[in-house]
Structure formats: C-alpha cells, structure tokens
Structure 1
C-alpha cells in the first residue's frame, strides 16, 4: 500500500489512464513517496504491524515509538513466558503512550506488537505526496516529457530537504510530529 495510488499519480501528472509506457517507473516513484512523507512527518502513514523491543523497569507507563497507533496487540517478555494483558492498558493513539491500569508493571526486555499508521490517509497528506511526486517527476522528465539536463523551472524548496520536498508540499503536509526522546 502506498500513500497514493498509481491512478491518483497519473491524474496528478495528467497522464492518460490507457498510457502505460511509464507505469513501471511511475509506480517506483509512488512506492517511494510514502517513505519520504513518513520521514518528514516522523509518523507512520501506511497502516502496518510494528514489532518493537522495549527495555523497561517496572513501568506503569511506556511509549510506543511509531505513532499514530491504531491498536496494541500484545506485550510479551523476550526472555521467559511473561505476558501482560493489553485489555488492562490504556493507549493514547496519537502519542503512543501506554498506561498500565491494573496488573503488574511492565518490566524487562519486552516485545510490543501493535498496528500503527492511518486507516484512512488524511487528504492533505495525499495532496502533499502528489506535489512531491509531481516535483520529482518533472525534475527528471520535465513538464510533458524528458528535458536535457533533467531540471526545469525554479521551484521553491525548503533548504533542509533540498529538492525533494517543495514548499507547497510542506504546506499540505503541515509541521512534523515532535520527536520525543
């Protein structure tokens, strides 16, 4: 699954549905855009299962690092047979903070298994991804086809992200999620 579909990408680039001449190359771009947006936003966009090891000491609360979190599936000890009842835990889906409401605190090296990402990708993320895609496509091929030198017009880009994320894409995407250490 990608943040945008091949059909959405073709519509953005004004490529006819029946024109399949660049589908393989375009699909590669589409597949890569999700990672670009996830890196910039510091969050999981594509819904997927995450397995994360946590080293905890008698924790009544702990954080899952790949937010937003859809659901917590299990918390088990890496060594031994201890498991914790996730139905007795409260999850803040936006921040990934888990609180143990009852039962023993979570302790030792544990594996947390959970689903993270968006069940429905926010529209503004899709729009931002399509702007990134169009920018990357046009810098390689030019508007309407390949150009010599591979670069077209002066697109304003954020200096931190060089040419990959144009300013208008950043406006669609909004600010990145704060990184908590």
Structure 2
C-alpha cells in the first residue's frame, strides 16, 4: 500500500480523476515514493506483514528487537529448529522501538522467525503531504510544469540539474527528521 493513493496523487498533480492516460505512471511514482520515504525515515510507513529472523539479545533470552517499526502487532514467534512457539499474549512489544520482552514462558535461546504487522494503521497526514510534494517535484522535473515536457514552452520549464534530487527540502520539512537507528 503506497503512502499516496492514485486519487490523492492526481489531485496533487491537478490531473482530472477521470483522465486515466497516465494512471500507470502515476501509480509507479506513488509506489516508488513510498520506498524512498521509508528509507529516509528508517521506518515502515505503509502497513505490511513482515517475516524476520530473530535471536535473543541478552544471555537470559527475555528480549529481542523487531527491526521494521512501528510495530502494530505480533502474529507469531516460532523456533526455526524444533518448531517451538511463543504465546504472543506473553510478549510485550514497544511499538516505536521494536523491543519485545518475553513476560512468561520459555526464554528465547535459539534462532526464531517472527511474523508481525508493521507500519501505520492510519498514515499521518504530514507524511501524506510530504509524499505529495515529493511526487510533484519528481513529476515536474521529469515531465515539466503542467504535464509538458521540460523546456518545450518557455524559461519556467527549462531543466536545471541542480534540482534533480528525489526529496526536496519542502518535503523534508513535512516529513521531519529520520528515526534514529541503533543496533
């Protein structure tokens, strides 16, 4: 699921919703922009199911970290060898850090596979606005203002390579600072 829907993207680009001539290209931009913003923010924004190998991080095996944050919920934790499972009701997750504590049951002393939901249940509006600015910037640097090819009509559409970057400053202000990453 991209940060921007096709309809939101078309409204930002001032393309009539019933004009479907560029829908595939706009959708590709929306999909790509989601990945670019998630890489910048160091977090999962679009909600998704994640499958990840985990190992305990302390000698007691009572906590581990999930790396795609924010974490919405844990679906399962299963040992890779032997198939032991942990009851998700006995796991407490800190959504923003991804730190999981084993509250009851056996400690985690093996390689295990965690399946969980990450991202935002509702994408924050400032992320949508930042994505819309990124979309418009990339659309205009590729196609020119107003859907015309760059440099076709006049000076306002002349291509300037200094503006060839994926996330313009205006979008960074909407998106805010990236999430700190620690190992």
Query: TM-score, normalised to structure 2's length?
Result: 0.90
Matched, 1:59 2:61: yes
Deviations 1:48-72 (A, max 9, x none): 1100001225411111000000001
Paired residue secondary structure (1:8): helix
- The separation in 2 between residues aligned to 1:90 and 1:22, in whole angstroms, is 45
Greater per-residue strand proportion: 1
* Matched position secondary structure for 1:121: coil
5+ residue gaps, structure 1:
none
Deviation string 1:139-178 (CA, Å, 9 cap, x unpaired) is: 00111121149864688x7xxxx61100010000001111
Give distance in 2, aligned partners of 1:99 and 1:81: 20
The 5 Å alignment of 1:128-139 reads: 128-139=130-141
How far apart, CA to CA, are the structure 1 residues paired with 2:92 and 2:26? 42
In the other structure, the counterpart of 1:146 is 149
Partners of 1:101 and 1:20 lie apart in 2 by: 53
Q: TM-score, normalised by structure 1?
A: 0.91
In structure 2, C-alpha distance between the alignment counterparts of 1:66 and 1:107, rounded to whole Å: 22
Distance 1:36 1:82 in 2: 37
Q: 1:53 to 1:151 in 2, by over 3 A?
A: farther
Secondary structure at 2:40's aligned position in 1?
Answer: helix
- Distance, in Å, in 1 between the alignment partners of 2:70 and 2:13 is 30
* Contact 1:140–1:151, Cα closer than 8 Å, also in 2: no
Q: How many residues align?
A: 176
Q: CA RMSD, aligned part only?
A: 1.9
Dislocated runs of 4+, deviation >2 Å:
55-58, 148-155
**Aligned mate of 1:170, from 151, 155, 172:** 172
Per mean C-alpha deviation after superposition, the further-off stretch among 23-32 and 117-126 is 23-32
